[in-house]
Amino acid sequence: MFRHTRRLATVLTGLTGLAAAAAAAAAGTAPAAAAPVAAAAVTPPAGYTQIASGAGGRLEVAMASAAVRQPIVQGRTTGDTAYRPSHWAFSPLDGHHRIVNRVSGLCLEALSGGTTAHTPLVQNTCGGGFAQQWTVTDAGSGYVTLRPRHATGKAAGAFYGFTYPGAPVVLDAVTGAGLNHQQFRFLPAS
């Protein structure tokens, strides 16, 4: 019997709290809900840079190819600043950026404009599509996230957070500042 009395008291306490909140809302004195905080935009460095993943490697074109639709992978983890397939330039465009590879002159995009998680990132002929426009946002501690304009709630990241060289870079669902494999930092390119 005592056990049921405690449960009833818990339920009544909850209902009393709900009734008080409803009365406050009706009177216009309810506290305002906190608005979500948007991540601050970051201005990428001028010229060519390397984009290093928080998972370890640098974004580069697979097999150093200049071919259209060649996949983007997580590449070398060493400090080779002269390896040009991992050099990228950010070109401002309407509040966003195109990310252009140094070797191929092609733009980073989600394959065929895909918006779902695990859509591969590739290089493609630069155009005006939103799938080639990226927002660079602050992730804290010197890291950024790369968020595509056309796919809300997504960011670039190593496939399933894999850290090995050659791991595909894909669109990934993101919350907050992003997971480690969705965070990048800029390194010098020579």
pLDDT in tens, 3-52: 333 333 333 333 333 333 333 334 444 333 333 446 788 999 999 999 99
SS3 content of the chain, % helix, strand, coil (to 5): 25, 35, 40
CATH classification of the domain holding 96: 2.80.10.50
The H helix count followed by the E strand count for the chain is 1, 12
Q: What does the pLDDT read at residue 77?
A: 66
Report the distance separating Cα 118 and Cα 125, nearest Å: 21
pLDDT of 60 higher than 60: yes
Answer yes or no: do 25 and 110 share one domain: no
CB 113 within 8 A of CB 136: no
Please give the model's pTM, rounded to 2 decimal places: 0.77
Instruction: For residue 138, give Cα distances in angstroms to 41, 54, 70.
Output: 6, 13, 28
Q: How many domains does the chain have?
A: 2
The torsion defined by the Cα of 10, 13, 18 and 22, in degrees rounded to 10, comes to 170
Q: What is the largest CA-CA distance in the chain?
A: 77
Mean pLDDT score, 59-80: 89
Report the distance separating Cα 34 and Cα 66, nearest Å: 47
* Mean pLDDT, the chain, integer: 81
What's the domain range around 111?
Answer: 48-188
Q: What is the pLDDT of residues 77-92, one digit of tens each?
A: 666 777 888 999 999 9
Q: Would you say residue 163 lies in a domain?
A: yes
Answer yes or no: do 116 and 168 share one domain: yes
Answer yes or no: do 95 and 181 share one domain: yes
